[in-house]
Amino acid sequence: MNARGRWLLVGPLLFLGVLLVAPVVRLLVEGLGAAEVSWWAVWQDDHLRWRVGWSVAQAGITCVLTLLLGLPVAWVLARLEFPGRASVLRLLMLPFVVPTLVAAMGVLALWGPRGWLGEPMAAAGWSLEDTPWLLLYGNLFFNLCVVARAGVDALEQVSAQRVAAARTLGATPWRAFWRVEWPAVAPWLASALCLVFLYCFAGFGLALILGGQRYATVEVEIYTLVAHDLELGQAGVLAVWMLLLTGAVALAYAAIEKRLAAPGRTVPVMRQRPQGAGHWLALAGALVVLVVVCAAPLLAIVMRALHAVVWGQGAAVLREPETLAALGNTMRFSGMALALATALGLTHALAVQVLDRVSALRGAGGVQSTAALGWRAAAFLPFVVSPVTVAFGLLLLYPQWTASLGLLVAAYALLAYPFVAKSLTAALDALPASYAQAAATLGARPWRIFWRITLPLVATALRRGMAFAAATALGEFAVSLFLSRPEWTTLTTLIYQRLSRPGAANLDAALVLACVLMLLALLAFAGIEGRAQRPNPDNARHA
């Protein structure tokens, strides 16, 4: 490898080592070496055992619900052609753009004590407070589209010839699905469900707002132990167990992904227009599921915010100095984090290509090939470790820097740059090598080839990765709670502060602020992504 290739590795490698690996190691040392807390204290304490058990249960229940709802939706979108299908597929990505706090506020605006549906239900004696429904519904909002998009992509890889042969031999549509289509899509769905489990098990924002004191998850418990009880030893032990559990699921996800061979050149099943009552009922049911689960919370939050502005005192919060300061901080921190994440993601993707090239020259199966594969996998590390664990590890390792702007922005960028790296790596993999070779033959230097040939061809992927990175930075919540100063309040922390105060006026203010944050994230996503097509839900990560 030449000097240029080595320099490409230094930046991301140093960044991951300082901001992720070292804090995780420090956290392991804190947990394993805590003299005042037993390593098995998690399983001996009824309260902590309930937290871990509930965290696993709510993630497992969400996996079952997303499969039961997402697979029929995926079949409709993959097999039926109807007006607006492309728009529906694109809107499936909306939950990934919406910040976690906004989703939680949308659930409260719909099902909460003063929500559009929750208030009349409470009046009828069917209150949803202190029930697991709010958190499970929030999990469904974020994760249904993961399974649906994975199902659509998988069903589009099913061979039309095999389905036609099964039907020719007398199989009914239902039997053809279970004997031909299901075996082909099951690995894709298993991979998606591993992601769903990770997102729910390691989620923080939704559990903090919607779980309440009884149904909070382990991530909320770690935050409480650190921020309120100052029980760093116990929090460290709990965080170590979380790392082990999430690592096991991440390994299962990696194993399933490895078994998913690259799709062959199969002829997919042609979509058809709905025919008969069965197709129309299936289409209507799929659209109803998407509206109820994915669109209703966002519509509820917009309606409640408008109601608070027009008929309440919600407009006043928009003029308050702390709101303007929080808006400025949010845009400033997110802009700096996006710039850093873009530079790191671009460097990471180019380093992967250099390692792959060297591996091809030296022969597959060598040390360099292993290095190339490992460097590809390194981009997923920030997805595996939860934001609470990252922030807690940074707090332990760099106590003198916890109130510094550089560490805060770097933590934002750590959680955002994998979107850029993964999107660009996939685009560079698909780029024919002959383009760069032809330019080099004509005398172009590597830097000129990159700017004139490579970058324009991968610009769409770069915009897509930057769009997801911007949405992630704008909605970041867990890191802000751990590492921010009071004067660095962002919109997410201001919303949480408003929710923590009693009174209807504070709830209205939180709803208005959540609507502002949602619009800001949507504008940033739409403005950066432009015409980029078919973003991958596997790239998403919520706090």
Q: State the CATH number of the domain containing residue 288.
A: 1.10.3720.10
Residue 266 sits in the same domain as residue 375? no
Q: What local confidence, expressed as pLDDT, does residue 329 receive?
A: 92
Q: What angle do CA 470, 423, 420 make, to 5 degrees?
A: 35
Is the separation of the CB atoms in 481 and 489 below 8 Å?
no
- Asked, for residue 307, whether it belongs to a domain, the answer is no
- The percentage of residues in the chain with a pLDDT greater than 70, rounded to a whole number, is 85
Tell me the β-bridge partners of 268. Answer: 159
Q: What local confidence, expressed as pLDDT, does residue 221 receive?
A: 85
For the chain, what is the domain count? Answer: 2
pLDDT at 258 over 50: yes
- Asked, for residue 282, whether it belongs to a domain, the answer is yes
Residue 102 sits in the same domain as residue 243? yes
How far apart are the C-alpha atoms of 475 and 473, rounded to whole Å?
Answer: 5
Domain end residue (candidates: 295, 329, 344)? 295
Domain end residue (candidates: 264, 295, 326)? 295
pLDDT at 5 over 60: no
How far apart are the C-alpha atoms of 418 and 356, rounded to whole Å?
Answer: 19
- Asked, for residue 306, whether it belongs to a domain, the answer is no
pLDDT at 534 over 50: no
Residue 26 sits in the same domain as residue 45? no
Residue 277 sits in the same domain as residue 358? no
Q: What is the four-CA torsion angle of 296, 302, 306, 309, rounded to 10 degrees? A: 130
Residue 327 sits in the same domain as residue 179? no
How far apart are the C-alpha atoms of 15 and 414, rounded to whole Å?
Answer: 8
Residue 254 sits in the same domain as residue 357? no
- Asked, for residue 3, whether it belongs to a domain, the answer is no
Quick count: other Cβ atoms within 10 Å of Cβ 477?
25
Which of 158-172, 242-256, 449-463 comes out lowest in average pLDDT? 242-256
CA distance readout (Å), 286 to 46, 73, 85, 190: 41, 5, 12, 21
Query: pTM for the full model?
Result: 0.80
Residue 22 sits in the same domain as residue 148? no
Q: What local confidence, expressed as pLDDT, does residue 363 receive?
A: 56
Residue 168 sits in the same domain as residue 266? yes
Q: Which amino acid is at 261?
A: A
Q: What is the four-CA torsion angle of 160, 164, 166, 168, rounded to 10 degrees? A: -170
Which range marks the domain in which residue 180 is found? 41-295
Which of 330-334, 368-372, 404-408 comes out lowest in average pLDDT? 368-372
pLDDT at 496 over 70: yes
Residue 396 sits in the same domain as residue 280? no
Residue 157 sits in the same domain as residue 243? yes
Q: What local confidence, expressed as pLDDT, does residue 334 receive?
A: 92
Residue 253 sits in the same domain as residue 168? yes
- Asked, for residue 229, whether it belongs to a domain, the answer is yes
Domain end residue (candidates: 295, 320, 338)? 295
Number of H helices, E strands in the chain: 30, 0
Residue 283 sits in the same domain as residue 322? no
- The percentage of residues in the chain with a pLDDT greater than 90, rounded to a whole number, is 15
